[in-house]
């Protein structure tokens, strides 16, 4: 037997006689050695069966068992088996421990035009792989009568319907490597996405193949840092800008400038607003500087190295996340940066400041909510963290709504039901919601409307500004305002991640997030990954940044003033 199998057998055998507690550590040795493709296939099937029972089996979904412990107890029995037949026999014996009344539920699928995504359960019909008995057992569970409530998940607040995962142990004190918790984490997250990610049909690769490919990565983890990296690499497979892994150590320092990719280059565009004790700090980098290398590594190399660990819906949001969250961050107080300014390459040792010193982010800034621009243009910046109330009586002849940020919902009053912009009730979106009775099923809800009958609605021309920072609620508001009369969207493609976020706790006190609610146009066409496409594309240029110009805003003003 290989060293890997010896360690697994030694560690996992404890599960049959020791209860799993949330702070214990059951895998003190480092995994290693060889494992067979059959071992990986067996673990992958166990993942699918365990997750299927978690969300479908009447007794399991009711919380009657310590389902994490049951997984760890059965794991050693799935390693080093002589055949598929023996594996299937082991799984049948395990499933039969969890009895239920074999009374069929009445779960007829609703009208086909309301279904967006069917449960991915074809695998339980594959008798050539599962054998007749195991396949039949799983189909009995699929068809069993279930309560409407589930111990592990509910569907959020009224009219939202994204998955809210509950009763997932953190195992805060576990250390790594630890085979038990590593695989439990992968299995927990894979199944959460399997049954409650509304855009699983958009994945670039087969979800079952992704599981097979990642099990070896989770078996070969040698440290907590490896574990976090494996989780990030896994969640990146769903290509969702909402998706991420949180709970690991964050870098403490950054150079307090905003980086955006403009004309394919990493460009300094502005400074972050700093807290008072840091306002006098001298800034070496200037708007328009092109970042070439950081600590002697070329920016292109950095992008290539970290892209597999970043989940992003599209190229624009991928580069945004790299620019804002990765490039000029450090655990040291100094970064060595090569940059180009006015055609000259310069090198500097740049002081980093503590992250806590920022008063602003790319998503919100201390700009006024309401400004009146020349030519009688009302300018609304919905990323204002100063807050205020949007004007209900609009006297200006033209309007710009800047959504190149995130609406600060707690501080801005009136923007959500901005009914003065609408002449009547208007369709603008439709959601898909998951199912507790048939996990994996997503169906369309009713059309979402905006506005109401209003003879005195605002009839002036409007421009909505968007770019890669426009994400989630900002994208939703763009859709909402876009359906008002005399309105165009101007700028560049948005982040392509709309819909409420779901999050699930993972072992080691980590948390994973992903989009939990499907958002579409009224005709059911896509927004996810595509983003909100502008009617008029306008992008900033490096030359414009150097001169301190906001070329997108300038284009909007020019458009509004053009009769």
pLDDT tens for the 563 residues of the chain, in order: 343 443 444 344 344 333 344 444 444 333 344 789 999 999 999 999 999 999 999 999 999 999 999 999 999 999 999 999 999 999 999 999 998 877 776 666 666 789 999 999 999 999 999 999 999 999 999 999 998 899 999 997 655 789 999 999 999 999 999 999 999 999 999 999 999 999 999 999 999 999 999 999 999 999 999 999 999 999 999 999 999 999 988 889 999 999 999 999 999 999 998 887 776 778 899 999 999 999 999 999 999 999 999 999 999 999 999 999 999 999 999 999 999 999 999 999 999 998 888 778 889 898 999 999 999 999 999 999 999 999 999 999 999 999 999 999 889 999 999 999 999 999 999 999 999 999 999 999 999 999 999 999 999 999 999 999 999 999 999 999 999 999 999 999 999 999 899 999 999 999 999 999 999 999 999 999 999 999 999 999 999 999 999 999 999 999 999 96
Whether 148 maps to a domain, the answer reads: no
Determine the Cα–Cα distance for residues 554 and 540; give it in Å rounded to an integer: 10
Whether 292 maps to a domain, the answer reads: yes
Strands (E), 208-354: 244-246, 253-254, 257-262, 265-271, 290-294, 297-298, 329-330, 334-341, 344-351, 353-354
The count of domains in the chain is 1
Whether 128 maps to a domain, the answer reads: no
CATH code of 269's domain? 2.30.42.10
CB atoms within 10 A of CB 236: 20
Residues of the domain holding 278: 253-357
pLDDT for position 11: 45
DSSP string, 425-438: -EEEEEEEE--SSS
> What is the reported pTM?
0.91
pLDDT for position 83: 95
pLDDT for position 157: 67
pLDDT for position 103: 73
Determine the Cα–Cα distance for residues 53 and 91; give it in Å rounded to an integer: 12
Encoded tokens for 274? 């700093």
Determine the Cα–Cα distance for residues 377 and 180; give it in Å rounded to an integer: 61
Strands (E), 2-161: 115-117, 153-154
Whether 269 maps to a domain, the answer reads: yes
Whether 280 maps to a domain, the answer reads: yes
Whether 501 maps to a domain, the answer reads: no
Whether 342 maps to a domain, the answer reads: yes
Strand order in the sheet with 518-520: 115-117, 442-450, 426-433, 518-520
Whether 467 maps to a domain, the answer reads: no
Task: Characterize 322-346 residue by residue with b for buried, 16 or more Cβ atoms within 10 angstroms of its Cβ, and e for exposed.
Answer: bbbbbbbbbeeeebebbbbeeeeee
pLDDT for position 14: 41
């Amino acid at each position: 037997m290989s060293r890997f199998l010896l360690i697994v057998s030694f560690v996992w055998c404890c599960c049959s006689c020791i209860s799993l507690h949330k702070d214990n550590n059951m895998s003190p040795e480092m995994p290693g050695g060889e494992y067979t493709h059959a071992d990986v296939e067996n673990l992958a099937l166990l993942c699918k069966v365990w997750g299927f029972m978690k969300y479908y089996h009447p007794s399991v979904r009711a919380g009657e068992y310590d389902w994490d412990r049951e997984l760890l107890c059965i794991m050693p029995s799935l390693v080093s088996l002589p055949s598929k037949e023996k594996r299937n026999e082991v799984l049948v014996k395990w499933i039969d421990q969890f009895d239920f009344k074999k009374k069929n539920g009445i779960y007829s699928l609703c009208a086909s035009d309301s279904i967006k995504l069917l449960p991915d359960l074809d695998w339980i019909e594959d008798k050539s792989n599962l054998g007749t008995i195991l396949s039949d057992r799983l189909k009995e569970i699929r068809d069993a009568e279930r309560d409407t409530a589930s111990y592990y998940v509910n569907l959020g607040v009224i009219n939202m319907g994204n998955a809210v995962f509950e009763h997932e142990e953190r195992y805060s004190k576990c250390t790594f490597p630890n085979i038990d918790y590593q695989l439990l984490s992968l299995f927990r997250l894979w199944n959460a996405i399997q049954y409650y990610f509304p855009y699983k049909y958009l994945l670039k690769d087969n979800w079952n193949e992704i599981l097979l490919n990642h099990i070896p990565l989770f078996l070969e983890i040698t440290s907590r840092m490896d574990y976090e990296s494996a989780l990030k690499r896994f969640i990146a497979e769903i290509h969702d800008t909402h998706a991420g892994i949180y709970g690991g150590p964050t870098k403490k320092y950054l150079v307090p400038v905003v980086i955006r990719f403009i004309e394919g280059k990493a460009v300094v565009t502005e400074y972050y607003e700093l807290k008072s004790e840091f306002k006098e700090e001298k800034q070496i980098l200037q708007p328009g500087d092109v970042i070439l290398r950081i600590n002697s590594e070329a920016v292109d190399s950095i992008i290539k190295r970290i892209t597999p660990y970043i989940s992003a819906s599209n190229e624009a949001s991928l580069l945004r996340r790299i620019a804002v969250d990765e490039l000029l961050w450090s655990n040291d107080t100094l970064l060595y940066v090569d940059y180009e300014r006015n055609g000259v390459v310069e090198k500097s040792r740049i002081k980093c400041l503590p992250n806590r010193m920022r008063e602003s982010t790319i998503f919100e800034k201390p700009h006024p909510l309401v400004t009146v621009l020349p030519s009688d243009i009302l300018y609304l910046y919905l990323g204002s963290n100063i807050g205020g109330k949007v004007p209900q009586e609009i006297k200006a002849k033209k309007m710009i709504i800047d959504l190149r940020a995130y609406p600060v919902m707690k501080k801005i009053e009136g923007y959500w039901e901005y009914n003065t912009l609408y002449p009547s009730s208007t369709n603008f979106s439709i959601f898909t919601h998951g199912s507790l009775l048939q996990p994996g099923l997503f169906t369309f809800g009713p059309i979402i409307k905006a506005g109401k009958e209003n003879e005195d609605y605002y009839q002036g021309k409007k421009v909505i500004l968007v770019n890669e920072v426009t994400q989630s609620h900002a994208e939703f508001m763009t859709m909402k305002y876009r359906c008002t009369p005399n309105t165009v969207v101007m700028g560049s493609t948005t982040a392509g991640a709309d819909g409420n976020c779901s999050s699930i706790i993972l072992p080691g006190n980590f948390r994973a997030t992903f989009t939990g609610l499907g958002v579409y146009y009224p005709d059911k066409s896509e927004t996810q990954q595509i983003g909100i496409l502008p009617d008029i594309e306008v992008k900033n240029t490096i030359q414009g940044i150097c001169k301190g110009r906001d070329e997108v805003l300038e284009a909007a003003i020019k458009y509004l003033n053009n009769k």
